[in-house]
Amino acid sequence: MARYEIIVETGNIENSGTDADVSITLYGDAGSAGPVKLDDGRDNFENGAIDHFVLDLPAVGRLETIRIGHDNSGDKAGWFLNRVLITDPNETVEFAAYRWLATDENDGKTEVRLARR
């Protein structure tokens, strides 16, 4: 097991927050972990929010990509994801999105696979 600190930054534009359930999967050179629902009991992923999660997951080795998205539930499901920062025992990696995850925006997808920067 490895401890991962996951920081999710939601955009600060009109209606960029989501009420949907958000999940993430980590992919590394030694395997994958997830999908895992990101929820700490607060009202996460609101306009301009920076949400922090600490998860103990199977070690994936050197982080390469992530898959993050939502289940399109709730009254306001569309979400503008700025970026995700993940700190594992060895490094901090940025995964930049700067895009909508919404059925009525961009390509209509509610999840995206992002590569490390």
Q: Per-residue pLDDT tens for 5-21?
A: 999 999 999 999 999 99
Pick among 3.40.50.620, 2.60.60.20, 3.30.420.40, 3.40.640.10: CATH of 2-115: 2.60.60.20
**Which of the four pLDDT bands, split at 50, 70 and 90, describes residue 59?**
very high
93 contact partners, CB below 8 Å, separation of at least 6: 63, 85, 86, 87, 116, 117
pLDDT value of position 104: 93
Any idea where the domains of the chain sit in the sequence? Answer: 2-115
